[in-house]
Amino acid sequence: MVSEQSAQSAQSQVLVASNRGPVSYEVADDGTLTPKRGGGGLVSALSVVEDKLWVCAALSDGDREAVRRGVGEPGVRMLDIDADVHADAYNGIANSVLWFVHHMLYQTPLEPSFGTEFRRRWASYEAYNQAFAEALAQEAAPGATVVVQDYHLALVPGMLRELRDDLRIGHFSHTPWAPVDYFRMLPDDIAEQLLRGMLGADRLGFLTARWADAFTECCVRILGGTSGTRIGVHGLGADADFLRERSRRDDVEERIGGLREQIGGDGSGSGSGDGARKVIVRVDRTELSKNIVRGLRAYELLLETRPEWRERVVHLAFAYPSRQDLAVYRDYTAEVSRVAESINSRFGTAGWTPVILHVKDDFARSLAAYRLADVALVNPIRDGMNLVAKEVPVVSDEGCVLVLSREAGAFAELGEDAVVVNPYDVTGTAGALHEALTMPVEERAERTKRLAAAATALPPGQWFLDQLRALDA
């Protein structure tokens, strides 16, 4: 079922396990392999520990070819799990069941329906987790520390504990955790198996106290308690130094120029001058939980009910396609485009495009939009944290009002200085956008300073080190 790529022979004292690793490979036409280093908060966080081993899955054909050839990066072990097993575990269970449960996304009159196909896929999820547990057991030095990441690998702590009782095992959840009544939608034996798998860890980490409390309640109601496993909260923050440096590079300046041309108006592309168009920014992947369509509907309602904003505001909506191998995500991505086009058709003029929609992922352009934003719209139905809410205030040029869903994990830290919305309330969100657009410059600047301070209180490196120290305690 699994072939393995090991980057080192000596056993490791610190190990990390995640579905996606820090490197991926592409196969060129001539057969050569090209490694590509990943980015993101987790890669940044783990860079603070040099002597570690990262165990991850081979996700692409290039990754699998690298494993077959024995090509590897120092400090990375890539597992080539059978492609069908991985597809069932990753898309069939992790993204189509566990993600939906924790984000409370099911349309319950019709779904879920846990039958024989679910059980077949669950067996793959078990096998996938077992492959990670066995690799970690093999690579870990006596008494080593292992930190397992996220819902893809929820069974690993318990499986690993059976193989290596000497290890210090942690698990961190980057998503929300479902309330117990929603969690119990899962078949009873599966719900118990998931919780017991997690409780194989010495310590479990969550992004907010709300998610940690929900997990604890599930354990109490279903299992009778947490079996001595410690629970902690670590609110991952933005990497201020990296963001500020990266947002001032030439490619970002170039993107700012391009966006200003698209925004139009007096050419300034910000709301800082008389006649300048205000800019509402959102940057998301087209995940169902991000609530992009209702955000667009709220903007449409703003233009409908407050005509004074027509030709005076532009919505930069960056909606980068996600999980397009699942039909429900393809349909949602298409709906985002359809609604944006409808707004432009209804309100647009020769010199004004109300919604500027970009669907091709471009980090430099996202940073450019952060800098130009007068208002950032972050309105998820449910989100473990949402780093966009933390990143925009850090790099904003003129100060930015954050319109924030109370269902985002970031609400716990940022809610006091944001304009808070119920993500289902389109009328309320339209009103919040108006409030944000009309906020006095001085108040906006003061709120931005406080938001940026709160957003960077626990940068990625410190976030990871805190977990290691807590496991050693």
* Cross-strand bridge partners of residue 54: 16, 76
Residue 269 — very low, low, confident or very high, per pLDDT cuts 50/70/90? very low
- Percent pLDDT > 90 in the chain is 83
Strands 375-378 and 355-358: unpaired
Give the pTM. Answer: 0.93
Q: Which percentage of the chain shows pLDDT scores above 70? A: 95
Q: Which residue has the higher pLDDT, 41 or 249?
A: 249
pLDDT band at 86 (very low <50, low <70, confident <90, very high): very high
Please tell me the distance from the alpha carbon of residue 409 to that of residue 454, in angstroms, as a whole number: 13
pLDDT at 51 over 70: yes
What single DSSP character describes residue 349?
B
Average pLDDT for the chain: 93
Task: Please work out, in degrees rounded to the nearest 5, the angle formed at the alpha carbon of residue 56 by the alpha carbons of 54 and 61.
Answer: 135
Q: How far apart are CA 430 and CA 302, in angstroms?
A: 5
For residue 375, the cross-strand partners are 280, 401
What confidence tens digit (pLDDT) does each residue in 147-204 have?
999 999 999 999 999 999 999 999 999 999 999 999 999 999 999 999 999 999 999 9
Average pLDDT over residues 44-61: 88
Phi, psi of 345 (to 5 degrees): -65, -35
Task: Work out the average pLDDT over 55-62.
Answer: 93
Contacts of residue 424, defined as CB under 8 A and 6 or more positions apart, other chains included, come to 294, 381
Query: 22 near 76, Cβ under 8 Å?
Result: yes
Residues 6+ apart with CB under 8 A from 189: none
- Region of poorest pLDDT, from 109-118, 271-280, 378-387: 271-280
Q: What is the pLDDT of residue 275?
A: 62
Please tell me the distance from the alpha carbon of residue 142 to that of residue 112, in angstroms, as a whole number.
43
Q: What is the pLDDT of residue 7?
A: 45
Q: Residue 266: what pLDDT?
A: 62
Is the pLDDT at 440 greater than 90, yes or no? yes
Q: What local confidence, expressed as pLDDT, does residue 8 receive?
A: 46
Predicted confidence (pLDDT) at residue 206 exceeds the cutoff of 70: yes
What sign does the dihedral 281-283-287-290 (CA atoms) show? Answer: negative
Q: What is the rounded CA–CA span in Å between residue 469 and residue 80? A: 32
